[in-house]
Structures are given as C-alpha cells and as structure tokens.
Structure 1
Amino acid sequence: MDVSSFVLLSHEQALRRQLDVAANNMANVSTAGYKREQAVFHAYVENATEAQVPDARQTAYVLDYGAVHDIAQGSFQATGNPLDVMIEGPGYLNIEMADGSTGYTRAGFIKVLDSGELATSGGQRLLDENGRPIAIPADQLAQVRITGDGTVMAGTDPVGRLAVTNFDDENLLDARGDGVLTGSGGRTLSAAQTKLRSGGVEASNVEPVSETTHMVEVLRSYQTSQRLSSDLADMRRRAIDRLSKLG
C-alpha cells in the first residue's frame, strides 16, 4: 500500500468516527440534559527527505484527538412534576454511584424513594453539599419543594440543599451512560451561584436537522474518498500493465 492509500485510510477512519459521534447524538436527542458531542482531529505531518518532488516531502495524516461536549444549554421541558429541576447555567447535580463514588448529571428527574430520600429517575440518591443523601420526614412527603438555590423544603423547614458541581473543563468528564458523568476537580457552587428551575428538566441540546445534515455530509465525503481509492487502484493497475509490456 502506497502513501496516498494510507492518507485516504486515515481520512476514512476520521469520517467513520464523525459518523459514530453524530449517530450517538441522534440516539440521545430525547435524553434529558444530554450535551451533544463533536469529534476533534489533528494533523500528523510526516517529513520524507528522500522524496523526489519537493511538494511530496510532507505527508499529512488525520488523527483522532477525541470528542468535546457542546456545553450550550438545552431548552426547558415542562414535566408537571414540581420536584423535577433544570439547572440554569453551568453545573451538575451530585448523585451517589453504585460503588459509593459521586457521579454527576443534568437530568433533573427527581423522585422520593420509599426510604424518604431524594433520588433520580434511575434510583441514584441525590447528594447535598456534604455528600450525604437528603431525607424527607415521613409526615412531610406531600409538602416537598425545591427552591431556586437548591434548598429542599419539607413544609416550612429546610432539610438540605442539592449540591451542584461545576467543572472548569467539562471535556475531562467521562460518560457512564444514562446521562451520568464521572470526574474530578469539580467545585460545589454556593447557594448564591446555584440557579434551579422547578417543574421541568433540561432537554437535549442536539438539533436533529443539523445533526442529520452533518451525517449526510460525512457520508458524501466518505463516498468521495472511496472513489479516490478506486481511481488510485485503477492507476496502479494501468501502470503495472504498461510496465509489463515494456519487458
């Protein structure tokens, strides 16, 4: 395989990565709090000092550099549940993972467990500023509300405050599925910095039309790359035929 084929192969791998990311975005278009991803690439330039033609001395390959999150906020999606919350601005709700560590999510579906503790729709307990679950007294279960700064009120009494953690670089967070992320280096926001909106959740910030258009563009680029590969194969075949006739 010659250099041109390697360059085309690296390009096609990059296109496949873009298509995988776009397909994952489309699959999460209805996932509350989901932030669309975008594949990032950089060029790897190889210098060949022995190339006969000066313009051919540098060869650029496409390398996968990972994916970044689009941190733009999604729209408010009313649910009718007064416990559901949407974070306005940066930050993530703190939840307790199965292994006891702390996870983070923007999917603000909140329910009360049989134990009286607040949890996500998936059953993960929500944590307060001190990393502890928030429990509601049994006689106040019908009078629970969450204020704009995250304070959980049971009747007229505060029983805790939802912890909201912000990260300077959200791209260092690792996705764990179901809208849950894990990572370190976060900073818990104070009550004055926390802004929650009750009665709904944050919708995904994926724009289906834009994402579909991007997928079509990727497919067309891949088809073009395949045609170039076919043309190169034809050129090599004709060159071999001509060389064989010279003998």
Structure 2
Amino acid sequence: MDIPSYVLLSHEQALKRRLDIVANNMANTSTVGFKREQPLFQEFVEKADDAITQDAKKTSFVLDFHAVHDMTAGAFQPTNNPLDVMIEGPGYLTVELPDAGGRAYTRAGFLAVLENGDLAVAGGQRLLDEGGQAINVPPEQANRISIASDGTVLGPDGPLGRVAITVFDDETALAPRGDGLFSGAEGRVLAAADTKLHAGGVEGSNVQPILETTAMIEILRLYQNSVRMNESLNDMRKRALDKLGRVG
C-alpha cells in the first residue's frame, strides 16, 4: 500500500474541507445573524504491527470530524423597525416549520406581523413563545407593539407573549438547513431573567473578510506544499525503479 500518498490525500481532503468552509463564510459576510464556521479535524492512527521499521508501525491520517460555529457576536445594525431584535449573548429565536410541524432556530431577527396576526421571521415561519405557541397580535394593535429586553411582546393593553430564546449546551448539535435556519434537538428555553434582546435592529454577520482571506492564502500555500511533496515522492519512486532495473 502506498502509505505516503494516502496520508497526503487525507491532508488534501482536509484542506478542501477548510476551503469550502472559508468560502461559505466569505459568501455570508453580509448575511444577518450568520456565524462563521470552523472545521474540526480528528487524527486517525492506523497501526501496522508487521511494518519493517518501528517508525512505520503507526500512520497518522486526517479525518473530518465536524464544523462548529464561532458564537462571537456580530455588530448591531439599526433598522428603525421596533420589531426587529438582536440577541445579546447565546441563543436562537425559535420558529415553527409549517411543512414538518417541527421547530427550527435562527439568529436573524427580522420580525413582522403576518396577515393572521402571528409574529413571524423574514422567511414567514411563525415565531414561538416560551410555551411553544405562536404569538398573536390583535389587528388593532399591529402597529403599536414593542419587544422588551426580556423578550416580552408588549401591546397597548399589556403583554401578548414572550419570545422564546433557545440555547444549546452543545452547538455541534445544530445543523444548517440552507434557508437561514438551523435544526437541532435538546435545546432549552432561557428564563426571562436570562434573556437579553436589543430591539430596533438586527445582528450582523461576525465574519471578518480579512481573516478569511488570510485563511484562503494559508490553505493555498499548504496545498502547494502538499503537491510538491507528492512530486518529490514520485521522483523518488522513479529513481528507485530505475536503479532496480539496472540490478543484474
């Protein structure tokens, strides 16, 4: 088995994974509530007890383990809409999925009142309260509501509900759906005392283009080094075969 080539291949696959993630981060520089991703790699050690030398008995490969989100807060972007909110600290807005009847989560705080009076996010998914129910706004109050820092939706006649902010102890349990929402399980709703919302704006992406560009350059250089190592191995094999052909 050509072990060096397999090791280099696993390294190059890891570099491709890193490049895909960096490119996705760059593409979402302006996406509201987007959290940059970072890849996690795991070392896999293959043991070969029948190897000729002691150093060759263990071979280290790179495995793609997972991707995690950098939960650093993005900058507050004012929108002049009193319904728009930015979550200060960890957590996600909880929404209802109309097709599957399940739940999804988002940091994008563009909120609006639907024609039926339900409070919803930009994609039209209904926003859920701490009890898992939709927050309905009476028609006569649609233009006179506000959202307090603890998530309470206030109308002129009093509270209409409280926005549920769900947190996850393990962020890797969240999986992007591709529509600005995340799916996940085993989340817990924050109590009012622990909920902090900033109304009147949304959270910008926390992607820093300069850092991502630097990462792209680093990945390119690492890939070039891998290619040069592979070319050196090929040259070494050719020289070995040439010498073996001359024996005898």
TM-score bracket, normalised by the shorter chain, equals over 0.9
Amino acid at match of 2:62: V
Deviation of the 1:242 alpha carbon: 1.8
**Structure-2 residue corresponding to 1:46:** 46
Q: CA deviation at 1:52?
A: 2.5
Identity of aligned residues (%): 57
Superposed, 1:155-234 pairs within 5 Å as 155-234=156-235
Amino acid at match of 2:82: P
Cα distance in 2 for residues equivalent to 1:164 and 1:138: 25
CA distance in 2, matches of 1:55, 1:221: 24
Q: Distance in 2 between matches of 1:6 and 1:54?
A: 19
Match of 2:121 in 1: 120
Matches within 5 A, 1:8-23: 8-23=8-23
**Which residue pairs with 1:131 in the alignment?**
132
Shift of 1:128: 0.9
Greater alpha carbon shift after TM alignment, 3-12 vs 54-63: 54-63
Structure 2 regions of 5+ residues with no counterpart?
Answer: none
Q: Residue 113 of structure 1: CA displacement?
A: 1.0
* TM norm structure 2: 0.96
Partner Cα distance (2:151, 2:157) in 1: 15
**Matched AA of 1:37:** E
Post-superposition Cα deviations, 1:83-117, rounded to whole Å, max 9, x if no partner, equal 10001111111101121111111100001111111
Whole-angstrom distance in 2 between the partners of 1:191 and 1:177: 30
Partner of 2:33: 33
Describe the SS at the equivalent of 1:104: strand
Aligned residues: 247
**Alignment partner of 1:63: what SS?**
strand
* Mean CA deviation greater in 173-182 or 215-224: 173-182
Query: Following the alignment from structure 2 to structure 1, what is the Cα–Cα distance between the partners of residues 213 and 180?
Result: 22
SS at match of 1:25: helix
Report the secondary structure of 1:143's partner residue.
Answer: coil
The offset of 1:23, in angstroms, is 0.9
Report the AA paired with residue 126 of structure 1: L
Runs of 5+ consecutive residues of structure 1 not aligned to the other structure = none
1:172 and 1:142 map into 2 onto residues whose CA distance is 37
Structure 1 vs Structure 2 CA RMSD:
1.2
Letter in 2 for 1:172: A
